[in-house]
Amino acid sequence: MKIKRRTFTAALLAVLALLSLFPAEQPAGLTGTAQAITQSDIDKLKNEKKEAANQRKDVENQISKLKNDINGAIEKRTKLDEQIAATEREIASTEALIASYEQMLAQIAEELVQNQEEEAEQYALFCERARVMEESGTTSYWSVLFKADSFSDLLSRLSDVQEVMNYDQQVLDSLRRLRSGIEAKQDYQEQLKAEAEEAKADLQAAKASLDAKRKEANDLVVQLQADMEASEELLKQKEAAEAEIQSEIKKKEKELADKIAAERAAAAAAAGSQAVDWTATTGGYIWPESASKKITSPMGSRNTGIPGASTNHKGVDIGGVGTTTTVVAAKAGTVIISKYSSSYGNYVVISHGPGNTTLYAHMSSRSVSEGATVSQGQAIGVTGNTGISRGAHLHYEITEGGARVNPLNYLPGYIKSW
């Protein structure tokens, strides 16, 4: 029996050596669990990340070409805001890419466990088959054939032998395919790990770049403060921009009021009655964000020391919000302006009826478009530091009857921080 076991072991080693000579097959498709993430998904995210990075580089090139004067400084601040936004998009797409890598790696790890279990089962089956043949003394197919006592018996034995040979070959082929597939998946797994690590390094670099650009944007405003002539020019431009914005607000309000009046008149005419005047109700506002109740600058005269910042504040500044706080509509209404300006940065104006508007400025991003109908408390953007601003905050204005009113009258529980 010991001789037979040594023979079996030698035969098994010989078979394994032969298996190593077979050429490896191409990686089989990922099997097992349903594919939530595919390589095309990862490729798409890679392209989005690359596009965002290219946008950031384009803005960097534009910044380097700006002239060193007041107009160039204002334009540079605008470009920095664009670059910050592009970097934030790059970070978001990179984080999504990393998440996809991690999900794909988890899927492959699960499939490898299944494949390795299947390989172990097939290998055990092959070993048991070889052991039975050895112990039964049928290690040679020829010895089976030589025992035939007639030609018909020979044919019958030959058929049985062929069936056994085919079965044994299928087991060997299955083992070879499983091993090839496992090795291919392991190689792919290592490739994905390397790409994931590269993406993580890119993410850290993008975050560092974002911090640097935010600091550069703030430092630019500080630099302009030292130049009084530049400050005066900035103030003129800021006030002109504010006047232009206020003019546009009135224009958009009139367009919206005319549209609503026409719609109501048509509805009234269809109903056989006269149109009814629509007047806005006062009050009914909620806080435009929920992270802070600190008012860092009130409405009216002030001296901020920030070049270009208005000395006659048209609204209030809400501080303590950072660059990730959600800004919401203080009342339901229609968005009449959603754009970027060099003074207010990203800002949104909502009409709540004739002569009644709210304005939200210096946001890092906007999530509503002009013409959109918003409900009270609906997200319209994220606080930030765009435009002529030093430090993240939300500039907030209210008009009633077409004139600006003090927002503090509608901000219960505010904390005085000026």
State residue 200's pLDDT score. Answer: 87
Q: What percent of the chain has pLDDT over 90?
A: 25
**Per-residue pLDDT averaged across 50-76, rounded?**
64
Residue 6 has pLDDT above 70, yes or no: no
Average pLDDT score over residue span 326-351: 94
Predicted confidence at residue 18, as pLDDT, reads: 36
SS (H, E, C) 295-335: EEECCEECCCCCCCCCCEECCEEEECCCCCCEEECCCCEEE
User: What mean pLDDT value characterizes the chain?
Assistant: 75
Of 132 and 198, more confident: 198
Q: What is the mean pLDDT of residues 279-291?
A: 76
| Average of per-residue pLDDT across 260-272 | 67
* pLDDT, average across residues 94-101: 86
pLDDT for the residue 348:
97
Q: Which residue has the tokens 């009216």?
A: 300
Considering only residues 343 and 244, tell me which one the structure prediction assigns the higher pLDDT.
343
Predicted confidence band of residue 23 (pLDDT cuts 50, 70, 90): very low
Q: How far apart are CA 270 and CA 256, in angstroms?
A: 21
d(CA 274, CA 264): 9
- How confident is the model at residue 407, as a pLDDT? 95
Kindly list the distances between the CA atom of residue 233 and the CA atoms of 222, 229, 273, 307, in Å, as whole numbers in the listed order.
Answer: 15, 6, 56, 9
Is the pTM here over 0.85, yes or no? no
Q: What is the mean pLDDT of residues 273-300?
A: 74
Residue 298 pLDDT greater than 90, yes or no = yes
Residue 411 confidence (pLDDT) above 80? yes
Of 1-5, 51-55, 97-101, 412-416, where does mean pLDDT reach its minimum?
1-5
**Residue that has been written with the tokens 């009270």 in this structure:** 376
More confident residue, 115 or 229: 115
182-191, 256-265, 303-312, 314-323, range with the lowest pLDDT: 303-312
Angle of the 151-225 helix axis to the 2-21 helix axis, nearest 10: 50
Q: In this predicted structure, what is the pLDDT of residue 276?
A: 38
Q: Residue 247 above 60 pLDDT? A: yes
Phi, psi of 144 (to 5 degrees): -70, -45
Q: What is the DSSP string of 146-212?
A: HT-SSHHHHHHHHHHHHHHHHHHHHHHHHHHHHHHHHHHHHHHHHHHHHHHHHHHHHHHHHHHHHHH
Task: Of 190-194, 209-213, 239-243, 283-287, give the lowest mean pLDDT range.
Answer: 239-243
Tokens 């009084």 label which residue? 228
